[in-house]
Structure 1
């Protein structure tokens, strides 16, 4: 007879959150998953919301500071650990707690060591002890992954790379878009009409006006594409609409909105926000490359799927999982979607193309290609009074937001936005 299996011991207090952080980092760094995509599975079985949130905080902060954490680890080992070694990832988790998140060193290592056994456990304990005794620290400005730094330096210059390091060093502010001028909303900095900027860390559902549906969370840069369409009472189409901030903006501005997205699950959040805010839109789950409307629209907004490198300060996983191949694939998809969207704009109507990307191939190059193929479209230049102070449109009329812009006011995500009119 086989001996009975030993019962599986439950993790000591504090360890489940660190184990979940390990799963999150593994999902991002080895499997190329977005951290939000991996989060439900990684935290499965963890009942306390605080523990789930701490697992996310550990993983996100480790991703913000990965090159610097690895430099510390390499300075304390005789031979470099493989990049995907479990001991390296566990050390990242222990060090980021002690050096960036304020966890006492003894608690950081005690709750992390159970993630490894045998020799790697001794290695983790030894390296951690060496670095803490040495008084090691992380730099005030995180170092960007080399591949991203090289791309952005070539595209935008050293100042943008420095701006990106500043942007990722601290959590970004919380931006709200207001449904109307007179709704209940928290006090904060107003950088545009119907906008509030709050310090990060507020519990959103408890803020004034949330339950009443007076506003929704939306980065200032992400609010610009719909703002550039303006108010109207005609028909507007929001393509790739989920999670829905732009649909809410268009509906609040008076448009009769059709919102289309390929993901039924992501549209659930849009429907929830429509119900909470009391706004209306026709919501359709469909692939924009196959869907065909029955009529044309006065305004079409295409916030296209992209590499999402522009939102790195909120989602640092993009710095590590986005590759040149993914950027090229996204650019090809954007071109196909833009060609489809253009056919659905009535003559005299507006087409707004946007991506939350810092890659020129997903912005400027895409626009040049489109305008070269579609002579019936022309740029409708963005005017100074349509933008926040200190943000200026390109001389040719489009908008490019970059790290370092509006830094004194809290910055904004990286976006490319072009507004075009169909002339024939």
Structure 2
């Protein structure tokens, strides 16, 4: 008798779901960043739309992971292990139905073949129980318990709720302009809103690369908070600046456009190649160096040094939800040690009277406030240089200590900004 059920390989859309399963395994079990693991997980998927679907399934699963697991656990007599394949497959099937709008029959049809030789009946039964019960995911999503506790301890009990609220909103797309004098023109041409000179916040467009001015190099995508460190160095007037950990080059292009003689240093040759492509598009000239800052030393001190230090990137969790599941105390401590090393080295490369700018896209005080306190206790030849109000967008102010800190509620009425820490120093 011939079975009427399709063979697993015949199920439309199955290869993309297999890739999504591999991608989530790379993030949750091996701790790999989502964007870096995407290429390997989607090998064999020639269709760009399929690769985009894989990314969307994985990202939305990570965004809603605690709530998906709560639904799964509520439909099983005995909780599945966290790393059970059945749990992962159920997450993928449920997020498609509850978030992406995939019909339930289509979601389960591509889920069951993923557990061939495993508990197919269990997966089918749990999925049916959840979907027939009219389940919905909460808005805003629930933060992982460890993250909420850590951020609450650092920033106060209201902060995790603010972070969750921001997590529910699609982050805006900001662009930095090559010529700040053209701000009004590009705000009108792009149909966006400028929150500061040289910045435009775009409406909900499609492909950014198809917008006016992109091919001509008039602007590049960069979150408003991420643009602040380079802004705080001001006009270059042909002075020298070392842009450390520079790739992919948003701050590098800002500095070059502001008239600095830029030497951009990054450990990754691959990321520097991407930066060079952006520089070619914008027509900006920069010297690039591929080197590990722990071994490299410049030929001579610079008028300014910008250290956008490697960090946990928890400040960009809205765009990269994987950081909420990959980053914990161990990773924070390891990166804080590296930041302290790099900051100590970078300080020695600043000319007397020159400026040192330290920044991280992190919401962890160990990577921001604590670093500065430690640095200042060790170096009496540097003093903090707090920004003046006109150096920052309206709604962002320096703290009482003299540095800049953006949090999930910063400019929330405008769509928010990434979490950033910035401190500016002048060498005596």
Instruction: Report TM bin, short chain.
Output: over 0.9
Give 2:278's aligned residue: 273
Q: What is the CA deviation profile of residues 196-250 of structure 1, one whole-angstrom value per residue up to 9, with x for unaligned ones? A: 1124552121111110001111111111100111111200110000111000000
Q: What is the CA deviation profile of residues 14-63 of structure 1, one whole-angstrom value per residue up to 9, with x for unaligned ones? A: 11111111111100000000001100010011011111001100100000
Residue 35 (structure 1) aligned with residue 39 (structure 2)? no
Distance 2:8 2:106 in 1: 20
**Which ranges of 4 or more aligned residues in structure 1 deviate by more than 3 Å?**
8-11
What secondary structure is seen at the aligned counterpart in 2 of 1:283?
strand
* Alignment TM-score, normalising by the size of structure 1: 0.96
Give 1:110's aligned residue: 109
Distance 2:269 2:141 in 1: 37
Residue 310 (structure 1) aligned with residue 315 (structure 2)? yes
Distance 1:263 1:122 in 2: 47
Give 1:68's aligned residue: 67
The match for 1:370 among 351, 367, 375 is 375
Distance 1:37 1:299 in 2: 31
Contact 1:90 1:115 in 2 (8 A): yes
Contact 2:190 2:211 in 1 (8 A): yes
The alpha-carbon deviation at position 255 of structure 1 amounts to 0.3
Distance 1:211 1:368 in 2: 43
What secondary structure is seen at the aligned counterpart in 2 of 1:216?
strand
Compute the RMSD of aligned alpha carbons.
1.3
Give 2:47's aligned residue: 48
Contact 1:98 1:104 in 2 (8 A): yes
Give 2:291's aligned residue: 286
Distance 2:262 2:209 in 1: 26
The match for 2:418 among 400, 409, 413 is 413
* Alignment TM-score, normalising by the size of structure 2: 0.95
Q: What is the CA deviation profile of residues 64-86 of structure 1, one whole-angstrom value per residue up to 9, with x for unaligned ones? A: 01000000000000100000000
What secondary structure is seen at the aligned counterpart in 1 of 2:158?
helix
Distance 1:62 1:252 in 2: 39
Distance 1:187 1:374 in 2: 47
The alpha-carbon deviation at position 159 of structure 1 amounts to 2.0
Distance 2:426 2:365 in 1: 22
Q: What is the CA deviation profile of residues 95-122 of structure 1, one whole-angstrom value per residue up to 9, with x for unaligned ones? A: 1111111111111111222211144211
Residue 221 (structure 1) aligned with residue 220 (structure 2)? no
Alignment of 1:176-325 (within 5 A): 176-180=175-179, 181-182=181-182, 186-200=190-204, 202-233=206-237, 234-325=239-330
Q: What is the CA deviation profile of residues 147-167 of structure 1, one whole-angstrom value per residue up to 9, with x for unaligned ones? A: 111110000012221111011
Contact 2:311 2:367 in 1 (8 A): yes
Give 2:145's aligned residue: 146
What secondary structure is seen at the aligned counterpart in 2 of 1:330?
helix
Contact 1:140 1:169 in 2 (8 A): yes
The match for 1:386 among 365, 371, 391 is 391
- Are residues 113 and 170 of structure 1, via their aligned partners in 2, closer, same or farther at CA, if it must alter by over 3 Å? farther
Distance 1:394 1:100 in 2: 38
The alpha-carbon deviation at position 13 of structure 1 amounts to 1.8
The alpha-carbon deviation at position 360 of structure 1 amounts to 0.6
Distance 2:28 2:336 in 1: 23
Distance 1:157 1:201 in 2: 36
Give 1:4's aligned residue: none
Q: How many residues align?
A: 416
Give 1:3's aligned residue: none
The alpha-carbon deviation at position 370 of structure 1 amounts to 0.3
- Are residues 142 and 9 of structure 1, via their aligned partners in 2, closer, same or farther at CA, if it must alter by over 3 Å? closer
